[in-house]
Amino acid sequence: MAVPKRKVSGARRDKRRANNFKLVAPNMVKCPNCGEYNLDHRVCKSCGHYDGKEVVAIDEGKDKKKKD
């Protein structure tokens, strides 16, 4: 049977395990309609377009804060 000849040191073991914890950045693409960056395969938050069509109507006055 195959048995390790020596104990694997903690540093060597931890280096081997460290490769599984890498974070991946989300894919950001430019909206073809307005040019804002958003996540791939999702409706644009700034203009409401997806796949060349307006899917969600965005209210422009909603973003602006009222000054009383």
* pLDDT tens readout for residues 9-36: 999 999 998 887 778 888 999 998 899 9
Task: Quickly state the pLDDT bin for 61 (edges 50, 70, 90).
Answer: low
In a domain, 49, yes or no: yes
Spatial separation of the C-alpha atoms in residues 50 and 45, rounded to whole Å: 10
Contact 44, 50 (CB under 8 A): yes
Locate tokens 């395969």: which residue?
41
**Model pTM greater than 0.85?**
no
Count, in order, helices (H) and strands (E) of the chain: 2, 4
Residue 52 forms part of a structural domain? yes
Q: Percentage of the chain surpassing pLDDT 70?
A: 88
Does residue 28 lie within any of the structural domains?
A: yes
Query: How many structural domains compose the chain?
Result: 1
The domain containing residue 30 runs over which residues?
24-60
- Would 10 be classed as within a structural domain? no
In a domain, 29, yes or no: yes
Tokens describing residue 68: 């009383």
Rounded Cα distance between 48 and 33, Å, is: 9
